[in-house]
């Protein structure tokens, strides 16, 4: 019976040690040869998509233009949606095709369209529907993209950060492009994700963090670890004694 008890204790300890959360399993910005290396990538500006809503500011001395395009935040917040055919219906101009364009490209297109009414036109645009979504072991909800280059770390900080039970090696970004939806999967622990294709968040991105298989047993503190060992061993011995009594009758 002594050998059997030792075997049970040994198995429990092995399981618990393999389930501990460590710096290697959970820390960001690590430089280890065992982690994947990601190439640097050129930042790509967001391309406008169907159903995006634009807030437009037209700067001009022409009073008519200033009336038709009121200053955002002035109490008359007007947004312009990109229709299914990829165009936007702006005042004074016919349907303007903007799907697939960046905000800077869209500004120039509308500026050129309005120069027939006033030569001193300057157009500024912003995306009203500029949000990203987080689900899984890093929180849950929609959050605003408050600047053009929002990093994955800043996005996760807004959602409350990744739980210790998250699978840091398999973070996913679901990204909708004008003609397809792609999934980017990466190890967020690697320092090489900085300036890689995984580093910056775009509007409509979904960040998904799965839970690790260690979630049930996992612990990051030695106090908690010892507590789990003690409880598990006590439980195993109790079961063994009850079974031994029953078999001994």
b/e map 29-61, b = 16+ CB within 10 Å: ebeeeebeebeeeeeeebbbbeebebbbbbebe
Nearest one of 162, 164, 168, 167 to 221, comparing CA atoms: 164
Contact 198, 38 (CB under 8 A): yes
Residue 8 reports pLDDT greater than 80: no
Q: Which residues contact 12 (CB under 8 A, 6 or more apart)?
A: 229, 232, 233, 236
Task: For residues 31-56, give the mean pLDDT.
Answer: 94
pLDDT recorded at residue 237: 60
Tell me the two tokens of residue 43.
């930042």
Residue that wins the pLDDT comparison between 146 and 25? 146
Q: Copy the structure tokens of residue 55.
A: 């807030």
Residue 221 has pLDDT above 90, yes or no: no
Q: Calculate the average pLDDT of the chain.
A: 82
Q: How far apart are CA 235 and CA 11, in angstroms?
A: 13
Does the predicted TM-score (pTM) go above 0.75?
no
| 207 phi and psi angles, rounded to 5 deg | -100, 120
* Higher pLDDT, residue 109 or 115: 109
Cα torsion angle, 155, 159, 163, 169, sign: negative
E-state strands within 50-139? 53-59, 79-81, 87-88, 96-97, 122-127, 131-136
Selected residue with higher pLDDT from 129 and 140: 140
pLDDT recorded at residue 101: 95
Domain ranges of the chain: 2-20+219-248, 28-42+130-211, 53-127
Sorted by sequence, the CB contacts under 8 Å of residue 143 that are 6+ apart come out as: 131, 132, 133, 134, 155, 158, 159
pLDDT at residue 130 greater than cutoff 80: yes
Residues above pLDDT 70, as percent of the chain: 74
What's the confidence (pLDDT) of residue 224?
A: 52
Query: How far is residue 193's CA from residue 238's CA, in Å, rounded to a whole number?
Result: 49
**Cα–Cα distance, 31 to 51 (Å, whole number):** 41
CATH superfamily for 28-42+130-211 is: Outer membrane lipoprotein wza domain like (3.10.560.10)
Q: 2-18 vs 222-248: helix axis angle to the nearest 10?
A: 150
Pick the CATH number of 53-127 from 3.60.20.10, 3.40.50.620, 3.30.1950.10, 3.40.920.10: 3.30.1950.10
Q: Do domains 28-42+130-211 and 53-127 have the same CATH topology?
A: no
DSSP 169-215: EEEEEEEE-SS-EEEEEE-TTBGGGTTSTTSEE-TT-EEEEEEPTTT
8 A C-beta contact, residue 103 and residue 129: no
């Amino acid at each position: 019976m002594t050998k059997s008890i030792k075997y049970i204790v040994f198995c429990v300890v092995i399981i618990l040690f393999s389930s501990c959360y460590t710096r290697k399993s959970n820390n960001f910005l690590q430089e280890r040869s065992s982690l994947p290396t990601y190439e640097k990538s050129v930042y790509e500006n967001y391309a406008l998509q169907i159903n995006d809503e634009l807030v437009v500011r037209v700067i001009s001395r022409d009073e008519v233009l200033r009336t038709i395009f009121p200053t955002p935040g002035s109490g008359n917040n007007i947004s312009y949606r990109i229709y299914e055919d990829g165009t936007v219906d702006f005042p004074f101009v016919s349907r303007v095709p903007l799907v697939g364009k960046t905000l800077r490209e869209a500004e120039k297109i509308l500026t050129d369209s309005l120069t027939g009414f006033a030569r001193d036109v300057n157009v500024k645009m912003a995306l009203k529907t500029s949000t990203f979504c987080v689900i899984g072991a890093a929180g849950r909800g929609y959050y605003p993209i408050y600047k053009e280059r929002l990093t994955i770390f800043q996005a996760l900080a807004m959602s409350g950060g990744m739980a210790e039970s998250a699978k840091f090696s398999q973070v996913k970004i679901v990204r909708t492009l004008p003609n397809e939806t792609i999934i980017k999967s990466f190890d967020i622990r690697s320092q090489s994700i900085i300036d890689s294709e995984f580093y910056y968040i775009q509007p409509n991105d979904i960040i998904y963090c799965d839970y690790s298989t260690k979630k049930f047993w996992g612990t990051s503190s030695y106090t908690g670890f010892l507590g789990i060992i003690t409880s598990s061993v006590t439980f195993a011995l109790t079961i063994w004694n009850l079974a031994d009594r029953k078999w001994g009758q």
